[in-house]
Structures are given as C-alpha cells and as structure tokens.
Amino acid sequence: MNAPSAPGTPGTPMKNGTGGQPATSRELSPGERWYWIIDQLSTLNVCARVRIEGELSARALRTALGALQDRHPQLRTAIAGPAPQRPGDGPRFVPSDLPIPLREVRLTGSEDARWVSEVDGHELAVPLDWGSGPLARAVLISGPGQVHDLVLTVPHCIADGTTALSLLRQWVGLAAAPPPPAPAAVAPGPVPEPFEALFPERFRVGAPAPSDGPAPDGPVSGDLAADEVGRLRPERFVPFGRRRTRMLHRFVEGDVLEGLTLACKREGATLHGVLAAAVARAVARDAKAAPNAPFAVGSPLTLREELRRPVSEDEVGCFVSALHSVVRYRPDDLWPMARFIKDDLTARKNLGEQYEVFHLLAAQGPAGVADSEPFVGHFEEHGPFNFFVSNIGRFEFPTELGAWRLSGAQFVGGISVVGYFGSSVTTSQGRLSWNFTYIDGAVSPERAERLADDSVAQVIAAGR
C-alpha cells in the first residue's frame, strides 16, 4: 500500500475560470474547513520524525526545505479567513512567500528521547501560523556524535500521517543530494483540487447517502442504543479551547514484531485489528467493564487507493476518513475482538460509510469558530467514538543515504476536540512505532501510561 512514488507527483490543479489558468487560491473544502476550525480550538498538528546518524548541516537542510516547497504548492500557502466585504465566503488557501522555518536544538549531552519532549511540549502544542504561512515547520535536534533527529510538522487540514512522512522522506532525500543551483522565484500555486472532488461518483458530496444496506453482521446488534456503547470516560471535562494533546512513545521491533505478524496470519486477523482490539480491551479493563460489554474504537483509514484516481503518498493532503467498530470486550481472548474489527471495517467500507462524515460536514458543518460550539458539543456527547488507533501500515523509508544511517521513521498526530485518547502507528525500518496521545486533564498522565502499557503488553503477548 505504501510503495514510494515518483517524487513531486502533483495533484490535479484547480482552474480559476480565467482562461483556464491554474488557480493560486481556492476556498477550503468542508473537510479542510472542519480541521481548520478545530485546530483553532485545540492545536491539530501532524508530526513526522526520523533519526540521522552522520554529518549533517543546517544549511543543507534549509536548502532542501526550499526545494521541498518548490515541489508542493500547498507548502507555499497560508489560510485567509472570510473577508468582511464578502459575506458568505469561506476561508481560502492563499499564496505565501515565506520559507519553511527550521528551528535548531543543540544538545550538550546524549538525550535519546529529546525529540519526544520537543514533539510533546512544542510541536503538538503550538499551532502553525496559518494566517501568514507557510503551512509547515521543521526542527533539527543535534546531539553529540553526529546524531540528529529531524521533525517536520504540518497542520491536519493539509496532511495526514502518510503525507507528513512522505514530506519528511522527500526532505531527507533532497538534503542528501548535491545542493542544486539557486532556483528562480517559484510562482504561486496551482492549488490542488480538494479531496472531496476525488470521491467515487456515487459517494460525491451531494449524492444520495451512500449507506443504504443493513448494518454489518457481528457480535453487536444493529439496534444497540448509543448510550449503551462504552467509551473512554474523562476524569474531568476540559473546555474545548483549553485542550492540549500530550504524547507517550512506545515501540515493538525484532523478533516480537515478526512473531506478531506471523500470529496475525495464523489467527486470520490484521495487525490493525490486533492493535485496535488491544486498546479497546485496555479501555474496558480500565473501566472495570463486565465481560461482553460493547466498546466503540475508532479507526482512521486511508482512502488514497479508492478515489476516482489513485492518489500517491507523495501528494499533499489529508486523504483519510474514520470508521468505528463496536466490539464486545473479551477479557479472556484478544483474537476474536481483532477478527471482528477486521471484518467490521471491511463491511463498513463496502457500504461506503467512510464518506458519510463529509456529507455531514458539507450539509451541517460550522462555517467558523464562532458557530462551531453546537457541532463540536454534539460530537463530544454523541460521537461514535472518543478513542482511536490511526495506523498507516508499512511505510518505506530508507535506512541508508550515502554515509547517513536512518532509523525510527514514524508519525504522531494530535487529537484536538475529537476524542480523549488515541494512538499513531507506523511500521517502518523494522520497527512498529506506537505513539499514544491523550488530552491533558481529561486523562491523567498516570492513566495514559497505564492504558498505553496495557495495550503494548497485550500485543506483545499475542505475538508469542
């Protein structure tokens, strides 16, 4: 699914109607607007990280960031809010000529996990300046012995986990190449068409609702009331505008990862099913739930390969939707839960349920922060899930580039106001990186540690 494509593959540009010229500005789509709104309530960034061992200069990285911007028009944009003189207009992508900023952190001693504290303390907490642009920023963390961590951060309105990692991979590749000659000024745009324009015809926004079949068969009946479904209960309510994503880093590798992969094949489950089942089981245990109690776990899923044209992972955009599975808690056996989640997601995707949220956003989504509270409050109280596992699967990232050794490629995404506990999963370079996230205050650090450690322990045990 994640084979690298040719660098710089562009999306289809928008036309502005003036002689068919590519548009350098366009209005945010309903999905992009939703992410932009909730990013203003509570920061919603996506970060990608990799470690490089070898001689590396900030100058080369800055040059490479410029070349990366030249490849991708959306990295040369800002977002302009609705203009008072144009009532009814929405926010727009507009050109920005500012370079991607590179922040440097120099360590005097070995701090192997400093990148985690930088992501937790700054990159997930501080929004990008979308008003001036550009819609990206980068960090270089350099320690003794020529050990460096690179972090690239982009807002969720233009990026998913795959996008962030692809941009990081391109950045590293550009930095490893000989420096190009100074380029001429790059013209703004063209801004690629919105994600929703690529939906299959029968699922286009404005078409009849796609889910016209029965609910998928499974251990949870279709008429189960929403208030009967288990969710993660917050320890206290944190106002939407004061929510902050915190992060915990975990990983699985080597024989443990190989054993888990073989166990999934043996048991007829997917790796994602096992991860989602483990988190659901950890939440159920934490709640001291009775056996067979239903819990809803969310699964953000890529749509890149099912759109009207295949979308390469090198294209900038947020090409995901989320589905939920209501799975019965099995304290004695993880595998039935894992198999159910696999089958349930397949059935829901076959019905087209992954497109329903975009119909909802187009018809009823808020226009801006000022009118967002009813919509956000409804999701808070009645949303189908409030904990989730975002797994992008296997992502190819080089382990060597010239004299450099590369390791630990992974992503982590914020939560904002769409849940309380999540995790971002990347399998790359022989390691499964599992970054857990939680809303500070709604979930205590001790509870987040307990949920994360329980989830990882279950997965390790399943692979034995």
* Helix, strand, coil share (%) of the chain residues, nearest 5: 35, 25, 40
Smallest Cα–Cα separation from 319: which of 422, 171, 204, 196?
196
Residue keyed to tokens 């926010």? 91
Mean pLDDT of the chain: 90
Q: Is the dihedral of CA 254, 256, 262, 264 positive or negative?
A: negative
> What pLDDT is recorded for position 163?
98
pLDDT above 80: residue 435? yes
Alpha carbon of 243 to those of 37, 238, 423: distances in Å? Answer: 14, 6, 17
> What pLDDT is recorded for position 273?
98
Judged by average pLDDT, the poorest of 10-19, 48-57, 140-149, 370-379 is 10-19
Instruction: Write the CATH number of the domain with boundaries 198-211+228-462.
Output: 3.30.559.30
pLDDT above 50: residue 73? yes
SS3 call for 306: helix
Class of domain 26-176 (CATH, top level): alpha beta
SS (H, E, C) 130-176: CCCCCCCEEEEEEECCCEEEEEEEEECCCECHHHHHHHHHHHHHHHH
pLDDT in tens, 374-414: 999 998 998 999 999 999 999 999 999 999 999 999 999 99
Smallest Cα–Cα separation from 318: which of 205, 203, 158?
158
User: Whole-angstrom Cα distance, residue 74 to residue 92?
Assistant: 12
Q: Write the burial class of residue 62 (CB in 10 Å: 0-12 exposed, 13-18 middle, 19+ buried).
A: middle
Question: Do the first three CATH levels of 26-176 and 198-211+228-462 match, i.e. the same topology?
Answer: yes
Q: What is the dihedral of CA 177, 178, 183, 189, to 10 degrees?
A: 0
Smallest Cα–Cα separation from 277: which of 290, 264, 265?
264
Note whether 90 and 27 are within 8 A (CB). yes
- pTM over cut 0.85: yes
SS3 call for 9: coil
> What pLDDT is recorded for position 185?
63
Q: Write the burial class of residue 111 (CB in 10 Å: 0-12 exposed, 13-18 middle, 19+ buried).
A: middle
- DSSP-assigned letter for residue 206: T
- Rg value, the chain, Cα: 22
Longest Cα–Cα distance of the chain, Å, equals: 66
Band of residue 190 on the pLDDT scale cut at 50, 70, 90? confident
Band of residue 188 on the pLDDT scale cut at 50, 70, 90? low
pLDDT above 70: residue 207? no
> What pLDDT is recorded for position 211?
47
- Give the angle 286-120-63 at the CA atoms, nearest 5°: 145
Question: Comparing 85 with 112, which gets the higher pLDDT?
Answer: 112
Question: Comparing 22 with 142, which gets the higher pLDDT?
Answer: 142
Q: Write the burial class of residue 135 (CB in 10 Å: 0-12 exposed, 13-18 middle, 19+ buried).
A: buried
> What pLDDT is recorded for position 23?
75
What does the DSSP assignment read for 388-415? EEEEEEE----SEETTEEEEEEEEEE--
pLDDT in tens, 238-275: 999 999 999 999 999 999 999 999 999 999 999 999 99
Note whether 41 and 241 are within 8 A (CB). yes
Q: Where are the domains of the chain?
A: 26-176, 198-211+228-462
> What pLDDT is recorded for position 208?
58
